[in-house]
Structure 1
Amino acid sequence: MSMTFEHTTLGQRVLFGTGQAAEHLTAELDRLGATRPMVIAGERVQAEAWSATAGITAALWWDEVVMHVPVEVAEKARTAATEASVDVVVSIGGGSTTGLAKAIALTTGIPVVAVPTTYAGSEATNVWGLTEDRTKTTGVDDKVLPVTVVYDAELSKTLPLGMSVTSGLNGMAHCVDSLWAPRTDPINQALALEGARALALSLRGIVADPDDMDAREQALYGCYLAAVSFAGAGSGLHHKICHVLGGTFDLPHAQTHATVLPYVLEFNAPAVPELAGRLATALGGETSAGDPAGAAVTALRELYTAVQAPCRLADYGFTADGIPEAVERIVAAAPASHPVPVTEQNITDLLTAALTGDRATVAA
């Protein structure tokens, strides 16, 4: 069968090494000729930030990091960066931290060097997101793609175990969504499937032994592949759902992605059996010639059981009262190329299932 597609590979430098964050960050700022870095690090990762920046002197240290990047926070940070004559932004933390750095880059053009401490993957995409008036808006702009990513598994050691799981499953959602997102192609799918394999193994390893540095390295490797595939494939239904739940209802980012993922997979998988079968294999499940969709869903559910992943949006404050507004917003944002036609009824069913943890209500 012939293949016809267009694929763009984003230009980015990756420096990977456990215990080498400070060394790599110092060398990278020297390479860039940057002398006035703005360091963004939230309160939870101050110790990691001081360790990673041991070889540099910050012109500005910023610790106001807010989930979903409210516009007003972005504006404050942009103004501060300009007033301090910053020539590079160093983000140390998870997706919210990277998102704020991207918001600064979007309007100022200041380059970003990302030092992730979670498995969010935002550091490897040219996608930005800002929230205003209960609406999260995303866009694509190469200015926001970090010029360099510094990965150091040591920096993830203080991430609480539950957050390690939900953050890793957020990365898994990038993989699964990339299999059928609007711009997907065979390269994105290959990256996504390898990312899913690495994340499935690494999350089991981290839960079994939080000090397993090999597993933590594999998790960073997997989340990077997940994000690269997502950057190429674009945002599918899963991400549209989670952007609404996060931006409009202020649900926590990683936990929401982790909770919603199995329901979206169960919704989509029957329409893409070949991809579902490959995903089942990547997740370590038993493939089934007769029911590849079921095999993929079962493999993901088995992973969720093994790592004690969340399964109910109700646990994060979402209620049935919010479903009608969420459905309206999701249906309006859903990609036209989605494998299963999106309707108010099937999205209502999906959200109801995700709210209560009841798989029986999911039906395309």
Structure 2
Amino acid sequence: MQSFVYNALPGRVIFGTGTISTLKAEIERAGCKRALLLSTPEQAPALKDIAASIGPLAAGIFSQAAMHTPTDVTERALQAAKDCGADCTVAFGGGSSTGLGKAIALRTDLPQIAIPTTYAGSEMTPIIGETEGGKKITQRTLKVLPEIVIYDVDFTLTLPPRLTVTSGTNAIAHAVEALYAQDRNPVISMMAEQAIAAMGRALPAIVTNPQDREARAEALYGAWLCGVCLGSVGMALHHKLCHVVGGSFNLPHADTHTVILPYAMAYNAKAAPEADQAVARALGGRNGTQALVDLAKKLDSPNSLKSIGMAESDIDRAADLAVQNPYWNPRPIERGPIRDLIANAWAGNIKNYA
């Protein structure tokens, strides 16, 4: 067996159905008395219900979280935290809400409680990506890792099928990349394969019946594992491309991960054969790339950057940005092949590319 280093991340997880009922006790357990509740505008009504359920522990509400964590939104949230005297934050929603909680923690060290309603997985990572001036900058620090995460299956039942698919595929991408990351290890690789398999079973079942509680629970469990994988090892080509394309051109976060995933897998397949085999085992395919393509077809996922809003004229700029300060990757990052990857992903040419 290869030598490796495994760093376990701290954190408390409450998983199940109806677990939102523990929020008041968890805030108190953390030694906090004045929580600032965070969400996107779309989730504001649910956030108000949560605020009512914890009474005076809800010191304020900020429901303007936005995709890619823009720094101007963070500044407004910081002022809201100051105005209400918050001693912790409660982020309710997907990656946008969790990202805002992380951005506040980065600047204030306020404890965080995350209540995920999608399969983004960022609640389990010490990673934050922020956008300013059209660029997305990512950093890793334990300051942004939420101390408490409450997974409540009930909140995922209303997640629309399409968003379920892209959010779940985004989660799969975290686990896939953990299989070929520079600091991968047997513990995380085992977890990653199980996570991919769980999502691969759950997502088709949810598309067939969005109210399937068992499938929803398995998907949320898989997303949790995928998030742990991303948080425990480094990132590589897939996340670099998604940060560049999504952050620079303001494309939907989960959709971008969904489109890029098989192309990044194909790019790295020969350089990371064990990862390719693990993905194939988890999803029941002849190779990792084909298994991901087959799952995407089954789920009717978005399959091109063009279809999610990227202009063809942006391909060259995206390639230039992707080779600047590249993340470690098992295959060298070279502009020609990377431009080819992005161009094929823009057109949806996975059949010809892989």
Q: Contact 2:43–2:63 (CA<8 Å) still a contact in 1?
A: no
Quote the Cα distance in structure 2 between the aligned partners of 1:355 and 1:333: 22
SS of equivalent residue, structure 2 residue 270? helix
SS of equivalent residue, structure 2 residue 177? helix
Matched residue type, 2:203: L
Residue in 1 that maps onto 2:35: 37
Q: Are 2:306 and 1:314 equivalent residues in the alignment?
A: yes
| TM-score for both structures, normalised by structure 1 | 0.93
- What is the CA distance between 1:39 and its match in structure 2? 0.4
* Superposition map of 1:134-149 within 5 A: 134-149=134-149
Residue in 2 that maps onto 1:354: 345
- What is the CA distance between 1:82 and its match in structure 2? 1.9
Matched residue type, 1:121: G
Quote the Cα distance in structure 1 between the aligned partners of 2:230 and 2:7: 12
| TM-score for both structures, normalised by structure 2 | 0.96
Q: Contact 2:122–2:227 (CA<8 Å) still a contact in 1?
A: yes
Residue in 1 that maps onto 2:25: 27
Residue in 1 that maps onto 2:319: 327
Q: Contact 2:302–2:308 (CA<8 Å) still a contact in 1?
A: no
Q: Contact 2:125–2:227 (CA<8 Å) still a contact in 1?
A: yes
Matched residue type, 2:38: I
Q: Provide Cα deviations, 1:270-295, integer angstroms capped at 9, x if missing partner.
A: 2222221121111133x5xxxxxxx2
**Residues 360 and 309 of structure 1: CA distance in aligned 2, closer, same or farther (over 3 Å):** closer
- Report percent identity of matched pairs: 40
Residue in 2 that maps onto 1:290: none
Residue in 2 that maps onto 1:5: 4
SS of equivalent residue, structure 2 residue 8? coil
Deviates more, 1:105-114 or 1:38-47: 38-47
SS of equivalent residue, structure 1 residue 38? strand
- What is the CA distance between 1:162 and its match in structure 2? 0.4
Quote the Cα distance in structure 2 between the aligned partners of 1:268 and 1:151: 33
- What is the CA distance between 1:264 and its match in structure 2? 0.9
Unmatched 5+ residue regions in structure 1?
Answer: 288-294
RMSD (Å), alpha carbons: 1.4
Unmatched 5+ residue regions in structure 2?
Answer: none
Residue in 1 that maps onto 2:334: 343
Residue in 2 that maps onto 1:64: 64
SS of equivalent residue, structure 1 residue 89? strand
SS of equivalent residue, structure 2 residue 324? helix
Q: Contact 2:196–2:222 (CA<8 Å) still a contact in 1?
A: yes
Deviates more, 1:186-195 or 1:159-168: 186-195
Residue in 2 that maps onto 1:162: 162
Residue in 2 that maps onto 1:16: 15
SS of equivalent residue, structure 1 residue 332? coil
Residue in 2 that maps onto 1:238: 238
Q: Contact 1:41–1:65 (CA<8 Å) still a contact in 2?
A: yes
- What is the CA distance between 1:95 and its match in structure 2? 0.1
Quote the Cα distance in structure 1 between the aligned partners of 2:51 and 2:115: 10
Q: Provide Cα deviations, 1:63-122, integer angstroms capped at 9, x if missing partner.
A: 111110111111111122122210110000000110001000001000000000000001
Q: Contact 1:242–1:260 (CA<8 Å) still a contact in 2?
A: yes
**Residues 48 and 197 of structure 1: CA distance in aligned 2, closer, same or farther (over 3 Å):** farther
